[in-house]
Every structure is written in C-alpha cells, then in structure tokens.
Amino acid sequence: MQVAVKDITGKQVKSIDLPEAIYGLELNDHVLHHVVKAYRANRRQGTHATKTRSTVNGGGKKPFRQKGTGNARQGTSRSPHYPGGAVSHGPQPRDYTQKVNRKTKALALKVALSDKVRHGKFVVVDNFSVESYSTKKVVGALSALEASHALLADNVAADFLYKSTRNINGAAAKTTAELNVEDVLRYENFVISEQALEALNKRLGGAE
C-alpha cells in the first residue's frame, strides 16, 4: 500500500509504503466504540452527589401531630416528597473507570488510521519545519494539503507547532506518543510528518 509524501506547499515529493498490518485493516465499529467509550468514561470525575434523608438539614420534628388532622402521617419535613427535602435514589460519588487492555487500544488506533487511509484522509508530509511558525502559516499549509479540519502529528513536542495550531478552529497538534483513537476520529483529516510516521509504525508494530 503506497501513499504520497508531500511538502507543506502540497507538492508531492515521493511515495512510501504503508504496512498492511497497520493501515489495511477493515472497519471494526465494536472495538472503536468500546475504546472511545472507555476513554470518555475515564475522564469523568464521578463527584456528583445528592443529599439523602440522613444528610439533609432539618426535619428533626414531626411537621404536625400524628392523628386528628385528616392528613397522612408524617415523621419529617425533609422527606423526598417535601419541598427542600432529600432526593430518592439520586446520584452518589462513584468510579467510572473502564479498563481496556493495551492490545485493544492499539487495534482501535490501527482501525481508525486504516479508515483514514481508505478514504484518502491520511496525509504524509516530509517535515513541518519552517523558519518560524505562525497560525497563518499553518492555515496556509493545511489549505495547500487540502486538509482544513485536521489533526497534525509530529515526532517531537514542537512547541511552535502546538502554539500555532491551537488557535485554529478544527485543528490540533499532537506527538505520536500522545495519539489515541479518539483524537484520530475527532478530526476529518490526519496529517503526519514522515519522521513521526516511522515512530508511529514502530509503536503500533510492537503492539501485536
């Protein structure tokens, strides 16, 4: 499987081979859903809480006498059916963490990348290096590469690239070590430098 390597002006400079074992997988909705759901669940703090009858203030005295009023007997004004009362079966603090093994995470990332390749949304550039990064230059590069809504990946934590990209609506920059399936699926296009591609292949190739 071959893919074109372009410079940041959109001109093709050469072609390279992509490993079929990483970028030639069929779509697997189940594994994508499983891993993305786990990522999102693991970000939840789980600190939500409502007060029960034992924690709400007040209500230590009967609202009215037991008999003779014609009303149903009541023991506290903090019962769930009273204004200002407790909440029945409300949310309590809990841990939402879902465990996903390493191979499943790697498989989901491979499936997402394969889908980008299959639909022509996988762009390889020779390098991202320019004299000085700026939002305008990154926007121009994405336009030349026909990848306006894109996730950019480089092998090193290029501070200039990150800062130049974070102000662009619909674009972001990550290192290959930070990449996960949720990031890849969030953006329409995936743009990666040739050096970063080698590192990504090594990372995913060792996750068999």
Distances in whole angstroms, Cα of residue 159 to Cα of each of 24, 81, 117, 167, 170:
32, 56, 27, 13, 19
Measuring CA to CA, which residue among 192, 161, 160, 166 is closest to residue 177?
Answer: 192
The token pair that represents 117 in the structure block: 């390749």
Q: Tell me: the pLDDT tens digits for 121-151?
A: 999 998 887 667 788 888 898 999 998 899 9
Asked if residue 192 has pLDDT above 70, the reply is: yes
Asked if residue 175 has pLDDT above 70, the reply is: yes
The C-alpha atoms of residue 20 and residue 18 are separated, in whole angstroms, by 6
Directed axis angle between helix 194-205 and helix 102-118, to 10°?
A: 140
- What local confidence, expressed as pLDDT, does residue 8 receive? 86
Residue 31 burial (10 A CB sphere; 0-12, 13-18, 19+)? buried
Q: If you count DSSP H runs as helices and E runs as strands, how many of each does the chain have, helices first?
A: 7, 6
The token pair that represents 82 in the structure block: 């009273």
- What local confidence, expressed as pLDDT, does residue 10 receive? 87
The C-alpha atoms of residue 133 and residue 136 are separated, in whole angstroms, by 8
Q: Which amino acid is at 199?
A: A
SS3 state of residue 81: coil
Q: State the average pLDDT over residues 166-172.
A: 89
Contact 201, 179 (CB under 8 A): no
The secondary element (H helix, E strand) that includes residue 12 is: strand 12-17
- What local confidence, expressed as pLDDT, does residue 154 receive? 87
What are the chain's domains? 2-44+96-205 (3.40.1370.10), 47-95 (no CATH)
Beta bridge pairs of residue 172: 151
